[in-house]
Amino acid sequence: MSAPDPHEPLKFAYWVPNVSGGLVTSDIEQRTDWGYEYNRKLAVLAEDNGFEYALSQVRYTASYGAAYQHESTGFSLALLLATQRLKVIAAVHPGLWHPGVLAKFIASADVISGGRAAVNVVSGWFKDEFTKLGEPWLEHDERYRRTEEFIRVLKELWTDDHAEFGGDFYRIHDFDIKPKPESRPHPEIFQGGNSTAARKLAGRVSDWYFSNGKDFDGFTEQVEEVTGYAAENDHTVRFGLNGFVIARETESEARDVLREIVAKANVDAVEGFRSAVKQAGKSTSDTKGMWADSEFQDLVQYNDGFRTGLIGTPEQIADRAIEYKRRGANLLLLGFLHYLEDVAHFGSDVLPVIRAKERDLARGAGAPEPATGRV
Ligand SMILES: Cc1cc2nc3c(=O)[nH]c(=O)nc-3n(C[C@H](O)[C@H](O)[C@H](O)COP(=O)(O)O)c2cc1C
């Protein structure tokens, strides 16, 4: 397993709350708002507090604790226009988007924003979103086969003036997208999905593999397997890990917040979500993948974010962040309860501790220290 360069600062992304109900399915008070004005302020605050990326979610219809949703690509472009440095990753579904139309949209967004657009290609768990739109719901591994073609088509269209592709799902002939994106070689391609099919996909074509929340061993197991697939394909993949942050002055205060979130969980919504996500890795022959072994508490945070354990004092959170970095994380994808307050607190009280520990780590590795800059 190749650990990331200890001299490269850990990157941070946050989940854009473009879906109502926040990042936890709980009736605990949440001061997070899903609307544009709140999100615009948050994006500016985040780029000033050490966040290099924001990830917009995609949900098309009301469900499981999320009554309202803003569409991810349009919302991402709005956030790009409101910020200076933040890279915004839009979640997109093969099967609902044609890759040629998406390639065109993202190329424009990338040019308009000076090279800050990216995509998170998600293969989907929510069957109703397809069937109720009259679209076929493919079997799990077929969804991933389609996703691989989708990603290959995006790359081809973004980099070739005479794009050609002949696949089972997509056929492109002598197609020329102009303008080409500003990002070189092309906008970054993140991947959401952790099943065996997802891991192999990352090892072949994705720039980034996003892991659901995991403890140390769970994360290491994925890094080793995906890195192995990448090596077989002479491909390089980077790792982002999801985690829900509860930073408080004392560990017991932070744990009390977690207890309250779980105690006030919206049980019907969590159970509905649990039932729907059986369409993910659990539906495959080896049953590996996201939510395959999630318990009730894990599902209260949609992406198992409590498991990463970024809950406690700034010092404790920083220690865990560094350990994940040592185990292969290039990026932490973070969710918060009260975004505006918590992101500012993360930037002022947690990030400096992480950066100081990164400098110690780099010194231990015996080479120049990483940059001290917030981003
Ligand atoms: C970081 C991350 C973000 C995701 N975002 C979305 C999303 O916005 N909308 C969605 O429907 N699925 C999203 N997914 C879920 C994926 O579509 C996929 O269904 C899920 O990862 C299950 O994959 P698996 O079957 O390979 O384990 C996301 C997954 C990850 C890891």
In the chain, what are the domains? 11-365 (3.20.20.30)
Q: How far apart are CA 128 and CA 135, in angstroms?
A: 10
Pocket test for ligand 1, best of 18, 125, 128, 298 (most atoms within 8 A of CB): 125
The CA 140 to ligand 1 mean position distance, Å, reads: 12
Nearest protein Cα to ligand 1, atom 31:
192
Ligand 1 atom closest to 193 (CA): 21
Q: Which residues pair with 55 in a beta bridge?
A: 15, 89
The CA 182 to ligand 1 mean position distance, Å, reads: 27
The CA 235 to ligand 1 mean position distance, Å, reads: 22
Do 69 and 19 contact (CB within 8 A), yes or no?
A: yes
**Structure confidence by residue, pLDDT tens digits, 278-316:** 777 777 878 877 767 788 888 888 899 999 999 999 999
pLDDT at 364: 82
pLDDT at 291: 65
- Ligand 1 neighbourhood includes 210 CB (under 6 angstroms): yes
Handedness of CA 53, 92, 185, 241 (dihedral sign): positive
Positions of the chain with pLDDT lower than 70, given as ranges: 1-4, 291, 366-375
Ligand 1 atom closest to 292 (CA): 27
Q: How far apart are CA 221 and CA 200, in angstroms?
A: 14
- Ligand 1 neighbourhood includes 94 CB (under 6 angstroms): no
pLDDT at 16: 98
- Ligand 1 neighbourhood includes 191 CB (under 6 angstroms): no
Which tokens is 88 given? 């915004």
- Directed axis angle between helix 99-112 and helix 72-82, to 10°? 10
The CA 126 to ligand 1 mean position distance, Å, reads: 9
pLDDT at 2: 52
The CA 123 to ligand 1 mean position distance, Å, reads: 7
Name the pTM for this structure: 0.94
The CA 117 to ligand 1 mean position distance, Å, reads: 19
Q: Count other Cβ atoms within 10 Å, centred on residue 259.
A: 11
Type of residue found at 250: T
Tracing tokens 């544009």 back to the chain, one arrives at 36
- Ligand 1 neighbourhood includes 58 CB (under 6 angstroms): yes
The CA 93 to ligand 1 mean position distance, Å, reads: 10
**Structure confidence by residue, pLDDT tens digits, 219-261:** 999 999 999 999 999 999 999 999 999 999 999 999 999 999 9
Ligand 1 atom closest to 279 (CA): 25
pLDDT at 258: 96
Do 158 and 186 contact (CB within 8 A), yes or no?
A: yes
